[in-house]
Structure 1
Amino acid sequence: MSETSRRTVLAGAAGVLAAAGFQQTARAEENGVRRPFTLTVLGTTDLHGNVFNWDYYANREFDDSGHNDIGLAKVSTLVNALREQRGRHRTLLVDAGDTIQGTPLAYYFAKVEPINRSRIHPMARAMNAIGYTAAALGNHEFNYGIPLLRAWERQLDFPLLAANALDPRGKPAFRPYVIKTIWRTGGPPLRVGIIGLTNPGIAIWDKANVTGQMTFPGVLEQARIWVPEVRRRADVVVVAAHSGADLSSSLGDQVPFPENCSALVAEEVPGIDAILVGHAHAEIAQRFVTNKQTGKQVLLTEPLFWGKRLSVMEFDLAYERGWQIKAKRSQVLNSNTAPEDPRIVRLLRPSHDKVVGYVNAKVGTCKAAMSAATARYEDTAALDFINHVQAQEIKKATQLPVLSLCAPFNRAAAIPAGEVTIRDVAGLYIFDNYLLGVKLTGAQLKDFLERSATYFKQVDGPGPYTPDQLGNGVPDYNYDVAAGLDKPLTYDIDIAKPQGQRIANLSYGGVPVTAEQEFAVAVNNYRQSGGGNFPHVAKAPVLHNAQQEIRQLLIDWVKEKGEIDPALFHTKDWRLVANGVPVQITTNG
């Protein structure tokens, strides 16, 4: 490349980085006879199958209230710009997990045309082309089973890391870490250790896929084992942890390890220089945690999910009888400032176009439009449709009265009146869950619904309120509504009452539900395995488990019937009240 061309490329890279909000900071000063060296470690996490800035469910470019963009094609442009500016040999790229699940693109190459030796996963093709150094495993990597995960692993040009995924012998089932040696012209080599840690919740959330094949000890516990070994071999130690920063867990007492604990790891385990955080779908531009034993500052950063952000970690090093970190910092770059990398577009366009065609295929019609926009706070036909299909399937396996539970997974989901496509139906159920039927008593059902009702804050009166004023910080996927199949299940959620005392007038077929009454209840595998820490359901007798994917059941139901008629299954069975008075909801703010 000529010097003129080189300057042109660098100028272009500088323009991309300036648009992304990249802040150049002062570098370490000269120290001794050797010049300082700045290592740049870039990070992504929770990509969830997003390559392009595209919403497959809406069939248009992605957009949200923050006008974010998504996808690896845009991330690639930012990565290229930083490599041009810093030098590829000074720049590493790491991911913190949840890569191969989350979009119709990811689903298609897991279920419709599964990957094999000749059919490469789009995320493997994109990440190989971008040039990742390593990636930690996320919990959603196990959703499609270990054989597909291994097939994806074989397609990668970089290692998958999971120090706390163990085989039946207690040995690492994946590489715990990798050491990357960076040769600096005129100086000694710099060795960077990257440790991957995944989430112990896999043992619960994907119990059917991993039981007897792998175990998942705690993030903190395994960090204590592996960080000292890597520290002895590396000058810089970076952990990619699929575990949120702040200590919390949805696992209850089902496993003895917390779900989110990256900051605790930084605090308790000496020898870590930085942690690339994942799993929490939060944004941390830069955060420092003091290690209790050494007093040193550990850098934490988490880029926003789906490729909305790219984390940029910088380490200023000087050689003083070994490499020493003199300063470190991080920031996040916004993908909506960058165009899609044409090279990634060319590579992945055929796969993308195939999936767009698949999700836009017509499967039937609908007599009246259904929307999930209000499903959090009022009974809707959209969720009644899911519950109806689930309950019909469970009825084939039992003589008990059948109920069903489902959550408002996607507020943007809507099935239009008229022609219905796969993407319309799939938008109602964006997770790759499987259907199970369990037996619950009336008392257990009430306990379950009380747990669900923690979704709402306690209020003084019936309002009016905006929907956001009622939310209690519980994710939508951890709020279930119930419905009966042959007879209506009716109940009030009294949000003026304290938690645990909110479910009132619980009746089946107009008759109050008794404590000992038995029901067959349709649930998804996430809930049945203990996801959300709901009572009773994880230990309830299983009546049905045919490994049927719920989203596909919905699609197949529409194909078979040819028409969705909400009048056949939609009734107003539950309501929000305050001291018995219906709560008033306004969307006008």
Structure 2
Amino acid sequence: MDLAKGRLYGTPAVMPGRWGDHLGIVDLTLKQTGKTWHVADSQSSLRPIFDRTARKPLVDADPMPAAVIADEHQATLDHVRSQVAVADQPIQSYFSQVLDGTAVRLVAQAQLAYALKAVQGTALEKLPMLSAAAPFKSGGRQGWTQYTDIPAGPVAIKHVADLYVYPNTIKVVKLSGAQVRDWLEMSAGQFRRIDPQGPARQDVVDTSYPSFNFDMMLGQDGALRYELDLTQPARFDKDGQRVGDGRRVVNLSWRGQPLDERADFLVVTNNYRAYGGGHFPALAADKVVVDAPDETREALAHFLAAQPSLSAAVAASSWRIRPVPGIAMQFVSGNGAAAHLKDTPQVTRVKDNGDGSSLFELKP
């Protein structure tokens, strides 16, 4: 890589900013030798279109596109603003990496409701079913405002897209109880190991671990319950390779009894995960037993519309981090989380980091 010139293996290359916030430019210096032109030099660069410090655009908007697509643009706005449900409490993801939060749980419940209907009348109907979902919007590299934060009141189509940002489709895989446990162990790799004899305050989230790989699971009517013991080492690395005998997933139960690792389970997930995305142990195409064509967002919209009370729909929690006596586990989230502390007694705010984020901690 030539970082000064912007080349990969001698070829000019540039990656424009997300959502068009930076223009990618490749300048070529051409020279002619006889009748043949060749590239004598090149320079790749990024040019911002917005001054983040002054909070103002650096270029004028082109009025032509707005005029040409005015009707379509307004129709799109009318659609995404249309109401599908009413939330009787806020729906947010500020604490979803450390707590069993409502934003992720809603997605998991919607997947579960969809898949239960999909297997009705089939041989799969008798198998116990779980649903797995992850917190997609969790700040970090995306910026400290990138969280789901839907106030109580009308829930619109735009909020459905906020709850589930990817155009994934629903899949169901068939696994053994042991493979379900490994799935959860892989997810538990998101956390740092906590030393019970160490400092009174310790960082709990490994920020290099992608939040979209932190799957939580739930079962119908709270049938699945488990705890995460972070004093234990991770069992798998980020590539799904087993690196030790640690068991972070403890008290794993199904309907009040220890989960049978020899029994078969169905797990609802998305196409990315079902076909091996994230390197989760055992997950591959041969495990897929329901290959549904519908997007998760569509299933989520239907689920929300059918609920008389969203808070009742997600009342049953399935997991928690096991407290470590004398240790406060710390993590960083967006400043918007402070508005939800009154409804989250497990969390306290330590300080404002001055960059749009704050340091929080789980109470010992």
- Report TM bin, short chain: 0.7 to 0.9
What amino acid maps onto 2:107 in structure 1?
A: I
Cα 1:513–1:579 shift into 2, 3 Å: farther
Unaligned stretches of 5+ in structure 1? 1-262, 267-283, 292-296
8 Å CA contact 1:494–1:580 kept in 2: the answer is no
What amino acid maps onto 2:17 in structure 1?
A: L
Give 1:586 deviation, angstroms.
5.2
C-alpha separation between the residues in 1 aligned to 2:98 and 2:66?
41
What amino acid maps onto 1:311 in structure 2?
A: G
Match of 2:168 in 1: 433
Cα 1:514–1:463 shift into 2, 3 Å: farther
Do residues 508 (structure 1) and 243 (structure 2) align? Answer: no
Cα 1:385–1:285 shift into 2, 3 Å: farther
Match of 2:314 in 1: 569
**Residues 310-325 of structure 1: matches in 2 within 5 Å?**
310-321=23-34, 322-325=36-39
C-alpha separation between the residues in 2 aligned to 1:488 and 1:581?
31
Do residues 460 (structure 1) and 187 (structure 2) align? Answer: no
Q: Secondary structure at the match of 2:293?
A: strand
Give 1:342 deviation, angstroms.
0.9
Give 1:465 deviation, angstroms.
5.1
Cα 1:586–1:319 shift into 2, 3 Å: closer
8 Å CA contact 2:222–2:318 kept in 1: the answer is no
**Residues 79-98 of structure 1: matches in 2 within 5 Å?**
none
C-alpha separation between the residues in 2 aligned to 1:585 and 1:481?
20
Give 1:582 deviation, angstroms.
7.5
What amino acid maps onto 1:328 in structure 2?
A: S
Give 1:286 deviation, angstroms.
4.8
Match of 1:372 in 2: 93
C-alpha separation between the residues in 2 aligned to 1:302 and 1:517?
47
Cα 1:459–1:339 shift into 2, 3 Å: farther
Give 1:498 deviation, angstroms.
2.3
Cα 1:299–1:564 shift into 2, 3 Å: same
Match of 2:6 in 1: 287
What amino acid maps onto 1:323 in structure 2?
A: W
Cα 1:582–1:459 shift into 2, 3 Å: closer
Q: Secondary structure at the match of 1:306?
A: helix
8 Å CA contact 2:112–2:130 kept in 1: the answer is yes
Match of 1:530 in 2: 276
Give a deviation string over 1:26-61, Cα, whole Å, max 9, x none. Answer: xxxxxxxxxxxxxxxxxxxxxxxxxxxxxxxxxxxx
Give a deviation string over 1:86-128, Cα, whole Å, max 9, x none. Answer: xxxxxxxxxxxxxxxxxxxxxxxxxxxxxxxxxxxxxxxxxxx
Match of 1:188 in 2: none
Do residues 384 (structure 1) and 111 (structure 2) align? Answer: no
Match of 2:128 in 1: 401
Unaligned stretches of 5+ in structure 2? 51-57, 120-124, 139-146, 236-245, 333-350, 352-358, 360-364
Give a deviation string over 1:134-158, Cα, whole Å, max 9, x none. Answer: xxxxxxxxxxxxxxxxxxxxxxxxx
Match of 1:470 in 2: 205
Match of 2:179 in 1: 444
% same residue: 28
RMSD: 2.7
C-alpha separation between the residues in 1 aligned to 2:182 and 2:309?
33
Greater relative contact order (Cα < 8 A, sep 6+):
2
What amino acid maps onto 2:250 in structure 1?
A: A
Aligned pair partner of 1:331 in 28, 45, 58:
45
**Residues 63-462 of structure 1: matches in 2 within 5 Å?**
286-289=5-8, 291=9, 297-321=10-34, 322-336=36-50, 337-396=58-117, 397=119, 398-411=125-138, 412-461=147-196
The structure whose residues are more often strand, as a share, is 2
Give 1:332 deviation, angstroms.
0.5
Q: Secondary structure at the match of 2:69?
A: helix
What amino acid maps onto 2:33 in structure 1?
A: E
8 Å CA contact 1:389–1:554 kept in 2: the answer is yes
Q: Secondary structure at the match of 1:470?
A: coil
C-alpha separation between the residues in 2 aligned to 1:583 and 1:434?
38
C-alpha separation between the residues in 2 aligned to 1:512 and 1:481?
18
8 Å CA contact 2:7–2:44 kept in 1: the answer is no
8 Å CA contact 2:191–2:206 kept in 1: the answer is yes
C-alpha separation between the residues in 1 aligned to 2:137 and 2:200?
25
Do residues 485 (structure 1) and 220 (structure 2) align? Answer: yes
Paired residues in the alignment total 299
8 Å CA contact 2:107–2:133 kept in 1: the answer is yes
Q: Which has the larger radius of gyration?
A: 1
Match of 1:202 in 2: none
Give 1:520 deviation, angstroms.
1.5
Cα 1:525–1:370 shift into 2, 3 Å: same
Give 1:537 deviation, angstroms.
2.5
Give 1:354 deviation, angstroms.
1.1
Cα 1:568–1:463 shift into 2, 3 Å: farther
TM-score, length-normalised on structure 2? 0.74
